[in-house]
């Protein structure tokens, strides 16, 4: 692993401090070295190796099928491309829920084998003891509440969470529990903006929103979504900053046409 000494690495305390300074935190996902390198060069604060990789890289229907070995492969690839951004590994389904021992062992693998600097786990009160233990052993933990994709079968789909008072109250409580347990930040996914604002204003640790409005301390999107590469569905909270799917189709069609019509390679492209 080679880390360029001239580039200042972003750390967990710096991310926490950004909230105190009122500086918005930027986060996107990556699963491979080239995407990670380009993201890092662009100046992103956090790169999350999300289990969303199972959907956008491997083509699974949802994130439940993603394994530790797949996540480790993505994480090692991303690690090789990054000098500056804070690197967070998403712990896949069943890698932390079965026992605290399993959670410690698997979180440890992300730091020890893949060079990650923190892990993200889904859930509130139910994962309190796991968060406490991991943080106690020096593993920084990012929480994730609201729409937690590893629980979609329980929720019955990808709908907005926390629109009724009881769930909103529970999410606020979960956020406090995670902070108390030692999490350094919390992802708030697909919850009403007003609730995200209330959680954000009441916590000392930063909130990172995805479909949670502008008042979170930072924002995260799946890179393949914001680049217009993942075309299966587009939630309202995704903004396309590029149309790479369209550009790639045009490029591939251009190549196919040129080869079929003997326009590629040219004399200049030949020896």
Which residues is 25 bridged to in the sheet? 218
146 or 182: whose CB is closer to ligand KIV? 146
- Determine the Cα–Cα distance for residues 32 and 40; give it in Å rounded to an integer: 12
Say how many CA atoms lie within 13 Å of 195 toward its Cβ: 25
Are 86 and 46 in contact, with CB atoms under 8 Å apart?
yes
Contact between 45 and ligand KIV by CB under 6 A: the answer reads no
The distance of closest approach from Cβ of residue 64 to ligand KIV in the complex, given in angstroms and rounded to an integer, is 12
Q: Which of 40, 45, 70, 90 binds ligand KIV (CB under 6 A)?
A: 90
CA–CA gap between residue 197 and residue 240 (Å, rounded): 24
Q: Are 25 and 206 in contact (CB under 8 A)?
A: yes
Q: Which residue is nearest to ligand KIV (CB)?
A: 50
Largest separation between any pair of C-alpha atoms in the chain: 71
| Residue among 97, 170, 104 nearest 139 (CA) | 104
Task: Considering only residues 10 through 29, tell me which ones interact with ligand KIV, judged by CB under 6 A.
Answer: 29
- Answer yes or no whether residue 207 interacts with ligand KIV by CB under 6 A: no
Buried b (16+ CB within 10 A) or exposed e, 137-162: eebbbbbbbbbbbbebeeeeeeeebb
Of 69, 189, 267, 269, the catalytic one is 189
Q: How far is the CB of 165 from ligand KIV (least distance, A)?
A: 25
The distance of closest approach from Cβ of residue 69 to ligand KIV in the complex, given in angstroms and rounded to an integer, is 17
Q: How far is the CB of 48 from ligand KIV (least distance, A)?
A: 6
Assigned token pair, 105: 């062992």
Instruction: Identify which of residues 233 and 271 has a Cβ nearer to ligand KIV in the complex.
Output: 233
Q: Which of 85, 187, 195, 212 binds ligand KIV (CB under 6 A)?
A: 187
Which of 85, 131, 222, 227: binder of ligand KIV (CB under 6 A)? 222
Q: Known catalytic residue: 189? A: yes
Binding site for ligand KIV (CB under 6 A): 29, 48, 50-52, 90, 187, 210, 220, 222
The residues carrying an active-site annotation are: 189
């Amino acid at each position: 692993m080679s880390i360029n000494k001239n580039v200042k690495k972003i750390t967990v305390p710096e991310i926490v401090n950004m909230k105190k300074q009122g500086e918005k935190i930027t986060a996107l996902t990556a699963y491979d070295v080239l995407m990670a390198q380009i993201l890092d060069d662009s100046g992103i604060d956090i790169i999350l190796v999300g289990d969303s990789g199972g959907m956008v890289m491997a083509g699974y229907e949802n994130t439940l099928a993603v394994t530790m070995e797949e996540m480790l492969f993505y994480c090692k690839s991303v690690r090789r491309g990054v000098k500056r951004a804070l690197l967070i590994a998403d712990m896949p389904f069943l890698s932390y829920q079965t026992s605290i021992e399993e959670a410690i062992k698997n979180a440890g693998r992300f730091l020890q084998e893949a060079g990650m600097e923190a892990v993200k786990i889904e859930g509130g009160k139910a994962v309190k003891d796991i968060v406490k233990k991991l943080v106690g052993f020096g593993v920084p933990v990012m929480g994730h509440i609201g729409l937690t994709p590893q629980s979609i079968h329980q929720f019955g789909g990808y709908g907005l969470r926390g629109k009724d008072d009881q769930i909103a109250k529970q999410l606020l409580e979960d956020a406090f529990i995670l902070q108390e347990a030692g999490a350094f930040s919390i992802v708030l996914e697909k919850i009403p903006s007003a609730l995200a604002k209330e959680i954000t204003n009441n916590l000392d640790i930063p909130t990172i929103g995805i479909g949670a409005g502008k008042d979170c301390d930072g924002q995260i999107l799946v890179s393949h979504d914001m680049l217009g590469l993942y075309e299966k569905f587009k939630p309202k909270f995704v903004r396309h900053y590029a149309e790479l799917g369209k550009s790639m189709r045009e490029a591939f069609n251009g190549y196919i046409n040129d080869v079929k019509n003997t326009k590629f390679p040219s004399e200049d492209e030949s020896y």
